[in-house]
Structure 1
Amino acid sequence: RLFAEKITGTRRDRPELARLLDHLRSGDVVTVTRLDRLARSTCDLLDIAEQIQAAGAGLRSLAEPWADTTSPAGRMVLTVFAGIAEFERSLIIDRTRSGRQAAKAKGVKFGPPPTLTPEQITHARALVDQEGRTVKEAAALLGVHRSTLYRAFNKQEPTP
C-alpha cells in the first residue's frame, strides 16, 4: 500500500502516518524514499521506528541503505542513533538547567508578572477582614478571579 502525507513532516498530527502505523502487520516493511520524509527529528525517527518494530514490521530507506531494520546491521545502526539521541537530549537538559540557574542568580524572574501588586493584596485583605466583604466580591473589585486572590493571600503573611 502507498501512503502519501500531504502535511509537512514538522507537524505532530499527520493522519497518513497514523493510518500507516494502524495498517502495519507483522512482516510488513515500511519503505520510505528518505528518512527525513518520515520524521521531523532523530528523536521522532526513533519513536516511529520503535512503533514500526512493535508492530512486527521493518523500516527501510531507499536513499539511506544503512537504515534497514530488517537486517541486524540496520537495527544496530538505529540502536547507536538512539544512544546518540538520548545523549544529546541529556546535554540539552543540562545546558537548559545551567542557563536557568545562571539567570536566577542574576535576578531574572521566570513566568508571567504578578497580577496583583502588594498594595492591591493588602487592600483586598482589608476588604475581606475589616469590611466583611467576600473574597469573590473583593476579587471582582480588583478584576481578578477569586482563586487568584486566595493564592495571593496564601503567599502573603497574615495580618495581625
Structure 2
Amino acid sequence: MLIGYARVSSIGQDLTVQEEALRAAGCEQIYSEKKSGRQAEDREALHDAMKAARTGDIIVVSRLDRFARSTQDLHNLLAALEAKGVGFRCLAQSGVDTTTPTGKLTLSILGAVAAFETDLRAERQAEGIACARQEGRYKGRGPSIDYAKVKRLHGQGISPTEIASLLGVGRTSVYRALAA
C-alpha cells in the first residue's frame, strides 16, 4: 500500500497541491500537517503515517524537503522505515525510491543537498537581519505582554504568579516587566 505524507511549514500555506499529487500517485491513505520540518520528532502526522505502515508498504512524499530537513533526520527516518520493511518514495525527485539500490544512493545525495540549502537559507536570513538592524529597519519581535498592565495588576495586589496566569505568560516575563 502507498501511504502519503504531506507537510507545509506554516498555517497560511495550503496542503492541496501535495495531497492531490499523492492521490494521483496512488496513495490510499494520506497524512497531512502544518508544522515546521526542523525536527521530525515534533511531527505527529509523520509518526502516524510511519506507525500505520506495514511491511511492504511505501511512504510517499511530494518533495524530499517535506519529509526531512537534515541528513541526520533523513537517515534516522529511513532507518526506522527500513527496520519495519517499509519503503520510501519521493515524487518530485523520481529517482528517490528506497526499494532500489540506485534510489538509495540518489536519496543520500539529495538529502545532503537539502541540508546544505537549509544552512544557506539560515545564513542568508541572518545576513538580512543583520543588515536590516544596521539600517534601523529591524527591531526584533515586540513585547509579548503589556508592561503597564502588569504593573497596574501588581499595584492592585495581584501576585506575579496570578498575573502570569491571567495574561497567559510565564512568571519570568512578569518579573521582567515589573523590573523595567
TM norm. shorter chain > 0.5: yes
The structure carrying a bigger strand percent of its residues is: 2
Alignment partner for residue 42 of structure 1, among 59, 64, 71?
64
SS at match of 1:145: helix
- The corresponding residue for 2:13 is none
Alignment partner for residue 141 of structure 2, among 111, 114, 123?
111
The answer as to 2:176 corresponding to 1:151 is: yes
Q: Which has the larger radius of gyration?
A: 1
Deviation at 1:94, TM superposition (A): 0.4
Share of identical aligned residues, percent?
20
Q: RMSD over aligned Cα, in angstroms?
A: 4.0
- For structure 2, which runs of at least 5 residues remain unmatched after alignment? 4-27, 36-43, 69-73, 165-170
- The corresponding residue for 1:5 is 29
- For structure 1, which runs of at least 5 residues remain unmatched after alignment? 33-37, 128-133
Q: Which has the higher contact order (CA 8 A, sep 6+)?
A: 2
Deviation at 1:110, TM superposition (A): 1.1
TM-score when normalising by structure 2 = 0.51
Query: Amino acid of the residue matched to residue 100 of structure 2?
Result: S
Alignment partner for residue 99 of structure 1, among 128, 139, 151?
128
TM-score when normalising by structure 1 = 0.56
Matches within 5 A, 1:1-160: 1=1, 3=3, 4-5=28-29, 9=32, 11=34, 14=45, 18-19=48-49, 21-25=51-55, 28-30=56-58, 38-39=60-61, 41-46=63-68, 47=74, 49=78, 51-60=80-89, 66-107=95-136, 108-113=138-143, 115-116=146-147, 135=154, 137=156, 145=163, 147=171, 149-154=174-179, 156=180
Please tell me whether the aligned partners of residues 10 and 40 of structure 1 are also in contact (alpha carbons under 8 angstroms): no
Query: Amino acid of the residue matched to residue 106 of structure 1?
Result: E
CA distance in 2, matches of 1:83, 1:64: 14
Number of aligned positions between the proteins: 130
Please tell me whether the aligned partners of residues 90 and 96 of structure 2 are also in contact (alpha carbons under 8 angstroms): yes
The verdict on how the C-alpha distance between 1:104 and 1:62 changes in structure 2, with shifts beyond 3 A counting, is closer
The verdict on how the C-alpha distance between 1:43 and 1:55 changes in structure 2, with shifts beyond 3 A counting, is farther
SS at match of 1:89: helix
CA distance in 2, matches of 1:75, 1:137: 65
